Structure formats: C-alpha cells, structure tokens
Structure 1
C-alpha cells in the first residue's frame, strides 16, 4: 500500500501500527490488554445488571454508578478490540470514517465519564452536607436530567471536533503509530493548518474535564470540612467512608491522564512507545478497576453478587 501521496490528493485509509518499537512484543503486550478488557466487560456488565434488577439499589449513588459502568463499557469496547486485532492479526487498516467514529466515541465517552464523576461528587456533597434534603434534591427526575445533560454536553462539544478532523486533507503518511485513532495523533498527519483543531481541542479539555476536576475538588473541600466537624467519631467514619470508593475512582480517571499530558509536554526524550502505552493506560485502567473498586467497597453490591453466585450453585 502506498503510504505517501505526492499528488496532494487526500487518502481515506489509515494503518494503525500498534506500538512501534515493540512489534516483537505485541503478542505479550496483548495479554494484559485482553485480560483488562475481559475484566472490564464482565465487571461492568455485572454492575449494570445488578443495579437494574435490584430495586433497592435504585438510589442516586448507584444510578450514577450504572451510568459510569455503561460509559466504561463503551470506552473499552471502542479501543481494545481494535488493538487486539492489530496485535494478533496485523489488522491495522481503518477507514477515515472508522477513524473519525473511534475519535468521537473515545473523546465523548471520556468527557461523559468526567461529568458522571462530577455528578457522583454532587451526590456525596448533598448526602453529607445537606442530608435532610437528599431525597428532594436528588430525585429520579433530577438524576434523569443530570444524565441527559452529561450525554448532551459530551455530544455537543465533540461533534465540532469530528467535523474538523473529517474536513482535513490527508496527503502525507497514512501510517499512524498508535493502537487507536486519537484526535491530535490523526490531525498531525494532515497537509493543512491544524491550529483550529489544536485550540478547539484545548478549549474542550479546559471547559469540560479540567472544569469538572476543579468542581470536584471544591465539592470535596466542603465534604471533608463537614465530615470532620460531625459530632461523633462513628458519624465521621460513616460519612467519609462512603467517599472512599469515589475518591479511588476519581484518582484512577484523572491521574493517568495528568501524567500522560505531563509526559507529552515535557518528556521530549521519552520513547514513542512509552507515550502510546501511557495513552492506553488511560482507556484500560478505569474500565477495569472501577467495578473492582465498587465491588469490593460496596456492601450492597457484594451481597447481590454473592446471592447470584449461591443461586447458580443450587
């Protein structure tokens, strides 16, 4: 296949290379990818099933957790199967339409997860700082509106990103050194000015994920202040204990992304395969670890899982 086009016409097929520099290790690298996806798929599917079928779990915290599990399924399914196809079958070919579709779902889902984590922080804030109005503030109607707002926000801010990539002419190399189509990784191969894409992508990041992180930080400053000023030690432990799982999930979502951005910005001498591996951690770790974290730390989910297992043995 021709990888360079000297005529200036735009090509519409890309070849994802996987992890350049580690081609001889692709088979071994595929194992953690496969295990991560298997755990993410089974774990999140189980979380969704339990919350939907168990009426006692139709509370704000668990409904937001169900939304997070759906987003995790979409994120992992959008990226990992294609990566495994590259590792196992050298099937890196992807059309421009397929690449743009992957860009949309990856970035939209990432922004959606950030919004859900903010909604979960709101849930903990109301539960601890204003418990008497918890059921009225976070009614099922309010939760539905929050869920729709999170989805619409991610759709509205990413669609222009998709159109910006779609209209770019690609007449340079069509070999993408990555396991999935990422916005800027694709845009850099355009033979046109991409400043609009760069600045729009930065504005989306600042106005969604970064803003969500700041609001979560503010909400938890109030939560911790209120929690530590509760009259009894038992009340403090109970109130703050419910935040433990959420804080771990927040850490797993934001910290790999922050570390990746810092590495890309200042790690000019870091090998390319390290950048790609870090980018994959951002889409592999949260979907795999979120159901494990909530499964271990949430008694109601544990009891429901044990109940399902015991019923299967009978």
Structure 2
C-alpha cells in the first residue's frame, strides 16, 4: 500500500491486511446502508408530505430518524471508500469532524428519546389537556433543546480534544471516537489538561446519557403503575402506544453499552470482526428505528399502504 503520509494523516489499523475479506464486508455494509437510507427516507417523506402525520409524536420521530441517518452517513461512506480503495487514511481534522458527528448522534438520540417519552407520558396521564400542554410552539422548543444542548456540549468536548498535542497516528478503530483521538496525545493521563478533559467527559455522560435514561425509566415506571389500575383493553392500548418507543430505547441503550465496552477492549480483535461489531452502534439503530416504527405504528402503516396502492 503506497501512501504519502503527513503528520496530519491518521491510519485506521483495523483495515490493514484484511485481504479479500474486505470486499465481503464492503457488500454487507453497502446493503445495510442502502436499506437504512431507503427506510429513513420513506418514513421522513411520509411524515413530511402527509398532513395527518403532522403531530408532535411524528415530529419527534422525524428528528430521531434524521439523526440516525446523519450518524450513519458520518461513518459508512468513508468506511466503504477505505474498503474499496485499500487506503485506510483520514486527516486529523476529518477525524475530529467524524467524532463530533458521531458523538452528537448518540447524545441527540438520547435527548430525542427523552422528549418522546415525555410526549407519551403526557398523552397517557393528561389526555384531555394534551393539546394545551404539547402545543406546536412547545414541540419546537423541545426539538431545539433536544438537539442544540447535546450538540453544544459535544462541541466543547471536541474543542478540548483538538487542543491536545498529537504524537501518535494509528487509530485502532473502524471510525474515530473521542477516546481514540485522546489516546493519540503526547500528554500523560495525569496531566491537568487530560484530567480536565476526563472530568468534562464524565459530566457529559451524566447530562446526556445517565439523566435521560433515568427520566425515561421513571416515566415508564409511572405509566406501568398507573396502567395496572386500568382495564385489560386500556392496558393493551397503552402498550401499543408505547411499545415502539420502549423497544427503540432498550435497543439503543444495549448497543450503546456494548459499544462502550467494545471501544475499550477491541485492540485484540481482528479487523473484520472489528468492523462487523462496530455496525451494532452506527448502522443497526438507524436501520431498525424507522422499520420498527413503520411496522408498529398503525398510522404510518396505513399511510405507507395508501401510498403504495396509489402508485401501483
């Protein structure tokens, strides 16, 4: 592999020496990514074009699906380019941009899931006051808060990471994450700059991961406790309303937890296994979420069936 390396170029070591396996993985990633784009675009277009879906629940869903599409697009076109050209390189600035988009994707996913849980909570506990509480203006405010605050917090973290002096150039990942970029620094972990960065990272995890998870769990505990007092039909309706969100939340939390351990203990895994395992966090949720809501949500199913019948 002839490459002209500069001090600004990083190498993804997991792609080195993969051989013919790289083409098999390329096909897998390409097919799943195409399916993700098609599923996401279908749900987003249905919500955008059909005025009957211009409701708070579907506005939040639109944000969740588009966020997933942005997150997967930050990684997989680059991955496919590397697999097809055998050039596992990225600029340091490009790596930081990728870290920012991926981190924002994860953070905004949790904040959007929290907003969606709040929407379900109000619809079940205050059904008569729902439209006076969840107004169009309130929806806009929630969408702004759910996207701007996590993105701003991540932006500060990326700025702090970019200030670290760099003296290593190999990234043992399939894509850039903040921990991998920090590990390229010449500074030891006990220095003030690294300690401040680590402390800020802990604060971010508490604010944009732990707190949303806690709020979502508390809302569903209250919903479950309340629904136990209702009739069987009422409980069934509550479950049908909340099940897509619950499954999405549980799925994303599990793959996030898996990714947390994977990013810390993946150094001994071969390249092909590394790539396939990393698909769990960046590629599977953006594909699963629009498909899940399309299958489990009656209104989206009906609108999709109506669209298919009108075209064919």
TM-score normalised by the chain length of structure 2: 0.90
In structure 1, the residue matched to 2:43 is 47
The Cα shift of 1:81 comes to 0.6
1:224-235 equivalent positions in 2, closer than 5 A: 224-230=224-230, 232-235=231-234
In structure 2, the residue matched to 1:278 is 277
CA 275–227 in structure 1, closer or farther in 2 if over 3 Å, else same: farther
Task: Supply the distance in 2 between the matched residues of 1:165 and 1:258 (Cα, whole angstroms).
Answer: 23
In structure 2, the residue matched to 1:245 is 244
SS at match of 2:165: coil
Task: Supply the distance in 2 between the matched residues of 1:293 and 1:55 (Cα, whole angstroms).
Answer: 21
Task: Supply the distance in 2 between the matched residues of 1:307 and 1:57 (Cα, whole angstroms).
Answer: 13
Task: Supply the distance in 1 between the matched residues of 2:266 and 2:44 (Cα, whole angstroms).
Answer: 41
1:72-131 CA-partner distances (Å, limit 9, x unpaired)? 110011111111111111232221211111111110121011100001111111111221
The Cα shift of 1:198 comes to 2.8
The Cα shift of 1:140 comes to 0.8
- Are the counterparts in 2 of residues 18 and 179 from structure 1 also a CA contact under 8 Å? yes
- Are the counterparts in 1 of residues 161 and 182 from structure 2 also a CA contact under 8 Å? yes
In structure 2, the residue matched to 1:202 is 202
1:98-113 equivalent positions in 2, closer than 5 A: 98-113=94-109
Task: Supply the distance in 1 between the matched residues of 2:127 and 2:15 (Cα, whole angstroms).
Answer: 50
Task: Supply the distance in 1 between the matched residues of 2:88 and 2:278 (Cα, whole angstroms).
Answer: 18
The Cα shift of 1:233 comes to 1.4
The Cα shift of 1:280 comes to 3.2
Q: 1:121 aligns with which of 93, 110, 117?
A: 117
SS at match of 1:261: helix
- Are the counterparts in 2 of residues 129 and 222 from structure 1 also a CA contact under 8 Å? no
Task: Supply the distance in 2 between the matched residues of 1:293 and 1:181 (Cα, whole angstroms).
Answer: 28
Q: 1:160 aligns with which of 134, 142, 156?
A: 156
In structure 2, the residue matched to 1:130 is 126
- Are the counterparts in 1 of residues 29 and 76 from structure 2 also a CA contact under 8 Å? yes
In structure 1, the residue matched to 2:91 is 95
- Are the counterparts in 2 of residues 128 and 227 from structure 1 also a CA contact under 8 Å? no
The Cα shift of 1:18 comes to 4.2
- Are the counterparts in 1 of residues 244 and 293 from structure 2 also a CA contact under 8 Å? yes
- Are the counterparts in 1 of residues 107 and 150 from structure 2 also a CA contact under 8 Å? yes
The Cα shift of 1:65 comes to 0.4
1:75-94 equivalent positions in 2, closer than 5 A: 75-94=71-90
Task: Supply the distance in 2 between the matched residues of 1:225 and 1:279 (Cα, whole angstroms).
Answer: 37
Task: Supply the distance in 2 between the matched residues of 1:36 and 1:74 (Cα, whole angstroms).
Answer: 15
The Cα shift of 1:263 comes to 5.0
The Cα shift of 1:163 comes to 0.9
In structure 2, the residue matched to 1:258 is 257
SS at match of 1:221: helix
- Number of positions where the alignment pairs a residue of Structure 1 with one of Structure 2: 304
1:127-170 CA-partner distances (Å, limit 9, x unpaired)? 11221111111111101000001111122211111112222222
Unaligned runs of 5+ residues in structure 1 are 6-10
Q: Which of 70-79 and 194-203 deviates more? A: 194-203
In structure 2, the residue matched to 1:62 is 58
SS at match of 1:94: strand
The Cα shift of 1:290 comes to 0.5
SS at match of 1:62: helix
Unaligned runs of 5+ residues in structure 2 are 189-193
- Are the counterparts in 2 of residues 14 and 175 from structure 1 also a CA contact under 8 Å? yes
RMSD: 2.1
